[in-house]
C-alpha cells in the first residue's frame, strides 16, 4: 500500500527550501522537527515516505549547509528515552552526529537548552561532548518565555545565551526529540547575528501537522496522538486566518511563540516577513499525498498503536492515564477502537482460551498466525516460529526446533544463569534456529523468510520484556501489548 509520492516530495521540498533562502538573504536558520534519519512515524502514516526521506532531501543541499544539534538539559535529568530505538536522548545525540558525518554533513556544534550549573547530568554531558571535540553552547531558561518579549529580546534574555559559531549560510537546527528548544535556539542565534552586525532569518521544516490537510484528518490526528505526552494540540492558525481568510493547520506551540518571532524580527530589522506561523513553514508533504484513503487508514492504525503504547507506559510507571485518555478521545473522534487492530482480538481470544499469555501476528497477505505459551516456548517465540513456517510453506506439524535441542538451553538458563523462566525467548529461539539451519533444510528455509516479517503487526496479551522488545524492533515488527504483566510481582527488572 502506497499513499505518498517520495520522489515528488524530494524535488518539491529541496526547491522550496532554496526559494526560501533566496527570499530571506543572509543566513537562514532552518528548524527541522521530527526525525531526520529514521522518521518511523512519517513512514507509518504516509505509506511511501521512507524513514530516510528527509535526510535524502537534505543531501541535495549538503554542500551548502551545516547542522546544529539541540538537547534539552531537563531531558538528560529525566533520562528521557527515545522509545522507537530504546536509547537515551544523550546517546541519540551522538548517534545523530555520527550518522550526519558519515553522510558528509558538517556538524560541529551542540546546544544545551534549559541549562543550569546545578544540573549534574547536563554538566557531565557538556564535558563529554567537549572531550569528543564538539563545541557546546549553553542556553538558559528565560523567565516569561515566550510571552515576555521585552525581556527575551534583550541582553538579559537571548543576550545571556552562548552564541553558536557556524560557517555556512544554511544552518539546520535539529534534536533527538520534541520539546528540545529548537525554535528558541534559532531565535537566539538570529538575535546574536544582528548584534554582531550580520543578518539572518528563520524558517521551519516540520512535517506534522500538515498545514493543508483538515484539522480532523487522521494524519494530523495521528500527530496529536504521537505527542500526547507533550500536551500539544493541532489548531487552526488564527494569524493565517486573519491575514488571508484561509484555514490552515498548525500546532499550539508555534502559534504561542509566533508573537515572539514577529516581535524579534520587527525589533531587529523593522518588519517580519511572515504574517502567520504557517508562513514560516516550508513543508510540502501535503502536496505529495498520492492516495488519501491509504494515508487515512495508515494513520488510524498508528493512533491505535499509540494508544496501546500509552497504556503500557502508564502501567509501567503506575501513573495516571492522562496520555491514553487523550488518545482515546482522538479514537472516539474518528470512530475507531483498539479492537480495530486485527491482531488484538485474536491474541486476546487465545489467551482467554488457554489461560496463558498469547500473541498474534498479521502476515503480509493478511493471514493471522497465533502463538501460545507452552512449557518450552513463550508466546512470542512460538508465534515467530509459526509465522516463519507459514511463510516458508512448511507443514505446521513439523518441529523447527526439537524438544531435545531446546532442553540444553533451558538447563543453561535455569541452572547456570539464574533465570526462573525456562521458556525460550525470541532471541534464544532465533539463535537455536540459526544453529539448526546448518543441517536442517526446514530451519534454513524458515530463516530465509525472516525479512518478510518487517512491517507486520503483532499484539501480545502481556507486557514484553526488554529482550523481546529489542528483537521485534530490530526485525521491524510493529508490536503492541495489553497493559498486563505475566507475573504479579512488585519488583520488575
Check whether residue 73 and residue 145 sit in a common domain.
Answer: yes
Average pLDDT over residues 346-362: 97
Q: Is the pLDDT of residue 271 over 90?
A: no
Q: What is the mean pLDDT of residues 443-470?
A: 94
pLDDT at 284: 95
In a domain, 431, yes or no: yes
- CA–CA gap between residue 31 and residue 179 (Å, rounded): 12
| CATH number for the domain that contains residue 392 | 3.40.140.40
Within-domain flag for 80: yes
pLDDT of amino acid 490: 42
Neighbours of 79 (CB within 10 A): 10
* Across 234-243, 291-300, 370-379, least confident range: 370-379
Last residue of one domain, picked from the residues 225, 257, 289: 289
User: Domain containing 13: what range?
Assistant: 6-213+240-289
Rounded mean pLDDT of 311-335? Answer: 95
- 212-225 in b/e form (b: 16+ CB < 10 A) is bbebebbbbbbbbb
Return the percentage of the chain with pLDDT > 70, whole number.
Answer: 97
Is residue 81 within 8 Å of residue 88, measured between CB atoms? yes
- Tell me what the mean pLDDT of segment 351-363 comes to: 97
Pull the grid cell for residue 351.
Answer: 489467551
Domain shared by 347 and 248, yes or no: no
Residues 280 and 353 in one domain: no
**Residue whose cell numbers read 493543508:** 212
Q: Which residues pair with 30 in a beta bridge?
A: 172, 203
Q: What is the pLDDT of residue 85?
A: 63
Residues 265 and 373 in one domain: no
Model confidence band, residue 413 (pLDDT cutoffs 50, 70, 90): confident
Q: Give the pLDDT score at 162.
A: 97
For residue 492, pLDDT over 60 is answered with: no
Say whether both 124 and 271 belong to one domain: yes
Q: Considering only CA atoms, which of 333, 329, 340, 348 is closest in space to residue 304?
A: 340
Within-domain flag for 326: no
pLDDT at 111: 97
pLDDT of amino acid 424: 80
38 and 170 assigned to the same domain: yes
In a domain, 306, yes or no: no
Confidence of residue 260 (pLDDT cuts 50, 70, 90): confident
Predicted local confidence at residue 80, as pLDDT: 66
Q: Which of 289, 308, 325 is the last residue of a domain?
A: 289
Q: Confidence band (pLDDT; 50, 70, 90) for 471?
A: very high
Measured between alpha carbons, how far is 488 from 482 in angstroms, rounded to an integer? 15
Answer yes or no: is pLDDT of 263 > 50.
yes
When comparing pLDDT for 130 and 40, which is higher?
Answer: 130
- Distance between CA atoms of residues 270 and 279, nearest Å: 18
Do 384 and 279 lie in one domain? The reply is no
**Is 279 in the same domain as 355?**
no
In CATH, what number is assigned to the domain containing residue 93?
3.10.630.10
**How many whole angstroms separate alpha carbon 55 and alpha carbon 121?**
30
Q: Is the domain of 72 the same as that of 168?
A: yes
Is the pLDDT reported for residue 491 higher than 60? no
| Pair 61, 175 in one domain | yes
Residue 297 lies in a domain: no
Q: For residue 227, tell me if it sits in a domain.
A: no
Q: Report the distance separating Cα 334 and Cα 297, nearest Å.
A: 11
Instruction: Give the least confident one: 145-154, 301-310, 357-366, 372-381.
Output: 145-154
Q: Which residues pair with 376 in a beta bridge?
A: none
Per-residue confidence at 82, pLDDT binned at 50, 70, 90? low
pLDDT, averaged across the chain? 91
As to burial, measured by CB atoms within 10 angstroms (0-12 exposed, 13-18 middle, 19+ buried), residue 396 is exposed
Query: Do the domain assignments include residue 301?
Result: no
Among 250, 274, 289, residue at a domain's last position: 289
Question: Per-residue pLDDT tens for 83-135?
Answer: 666 678 788 899 999 999 999 999 999 999 999 989 999 999 999 999 999 99
Average of per-residue pLDDT across 264-275: 84
Whether residues 285 and 379 share a domain: the answer is no
CA dihedral 34, 259, 212, 67 (to 10 degrees): -30
Please, which pLDDT band fits residue 459 given cuts at 50, 70 and 90? Answer: very high
Please report the pLDDT score of residue 231 as a whole number: 75
The whole-model pTM stands at 0.86
Count of the separate structural domains present in the chain = 2
Residue 419 forms part of a structural domain? yes
Same domain as 266, residue 369: no
Amino acid at each position: 500500500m502506497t499513499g505518498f509520492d517520495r520522489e515528488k516530495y524530494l524535488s518539491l521540498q529541496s526547491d522550496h527550501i532554496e526559494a526560501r533562502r533566496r527570499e530571506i538573504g543572509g543566513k537562514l536558520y532552518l528548524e527541522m522537527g521530527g526525525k531526520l534519519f529514521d522518521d518511523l512515524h512519517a513512514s507509518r502514516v504516509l505509506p511511501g515516505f521512507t524513514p530516510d526521506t528527509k535526510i535524502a532531501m537534505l543531501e541535495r543541499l549538503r554542500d551548502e549547509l551545516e547542522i546544529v544539534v539541540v538537547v534539552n538539559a531537563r531531558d538528560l535529568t529525566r533520562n528521557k528515552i527515545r522509545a522507537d530505538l530504546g536509547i537515551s536522548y544523550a546517546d541519540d545525540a551522538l548517534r545523530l552526529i555520527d550518522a550526519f558525518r558519515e553522510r558528509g554533513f558538517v556538524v560541529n556544534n551542540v546546544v544545551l537548552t534549559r541549562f543550569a550549573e546545578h544540573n549534574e547530568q547536563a554538566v557531565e554531558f557538556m564535558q563529554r561532548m567537549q572531550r569528543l571535540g564538539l563545541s557546546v553552547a549553553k542556553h538558559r531558561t528565560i523567565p516569561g518565555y515566550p510571552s515576555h518579549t521585552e525581556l527575551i529580546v534583550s541582553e538579559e534574555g537571548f543576550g545571556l545565551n552562548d552564541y553558536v559559531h557556524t560557517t555556512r549560510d544554511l544552518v539546520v537546527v535539529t534534536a533527538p526529540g520534541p520539546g528540545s528548544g529548537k525554535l528558541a535556539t534559532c531565535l537566539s542565534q538570529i538575535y546574536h547575528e544582528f548584534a554582531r552586525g550580520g543578518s539572518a532569518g528563520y524558517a521551519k521544516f516540520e512535517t506534522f501537522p500538515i498545514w493543508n490537510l483538515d484539522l480532523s484528518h487522521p494524519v494530523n490526528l495521528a500527530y496529536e496522538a504521537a505527542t500526547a505526552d507533550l500536551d500539544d494540540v493541532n489548531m487552526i492558525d488564527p494569524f493565517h486566518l486573519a491575514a488571508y481568510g484561509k484555514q490552515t493547520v498548525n500546532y499550539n506551540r508555534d502559534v504561542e511563540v509566533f508573537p515572539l518571532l514577529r516581535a524579534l524580527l520587527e525589533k531587529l530589522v523593522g518588519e517580519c516577513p511572515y504574517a502567520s506561523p504557517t508562513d514560516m513553514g516550508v513543508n510540502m508533504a501535503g502536496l505529495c499525498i498520492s492516495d488519501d484513503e491509504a494515508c487515512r487508514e495508515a494513520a488510524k492504525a498508528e493512533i491505535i498503536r499509540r494508544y496501546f503504547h500509552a497504556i503500557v507506559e502508564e502501567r509501567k510507571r503506575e501513573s495516571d492515564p492522562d496520555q491514553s485518555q487523550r488518545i482515546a478521545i482522538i479514537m472516539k473522534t474518528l470512530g475507531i477502537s483498539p479492537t480495530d487492530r486485527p491482531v488484538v482480538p485474536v491474541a486476546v481470544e487465545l489467551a482467554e482460551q488457554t489461560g496463558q499469555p498469547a500473541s498474534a501476528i498479521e502476515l503480509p497477505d493478511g493471514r493471522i498466525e497465533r502463538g501460545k505459551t507452552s512449557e518450552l516456548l513463550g508466546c512470542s517465540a512460538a508465534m515467530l516460529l509459526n509465522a516463519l513456517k507459514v511463510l516458508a510453506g512448511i507443514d505446521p506439524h513439523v518441529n523447527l526446533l526439537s524438544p531435545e535441542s531446546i532442553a540444553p538451553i533451558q538447563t543453561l538458563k535455569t541452572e547456570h544463569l539464574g533465570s526462573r523462566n525456562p521458556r525460550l525467548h525470541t532471541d534464544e529461539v532465533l539463535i537455536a534456529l540459526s544453529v539448526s539451519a546448518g543441517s536442517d533444510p526446514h530451519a534454513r528455509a524458515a530463516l530465509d523468510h525472516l525479512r518478510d516479517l518487517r512491517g507486520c503487526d503483532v499484539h501480545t496479551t502481556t507486557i514484553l520484556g526488554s529482550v523481546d522488545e529489542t528483537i521485534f524492533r530490530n526485525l521491524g515488527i510493529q508490536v503492541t501489548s495489553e497493559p498486563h504483566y505475566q507475573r504479579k510481582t512488585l519488583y520488575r527488572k
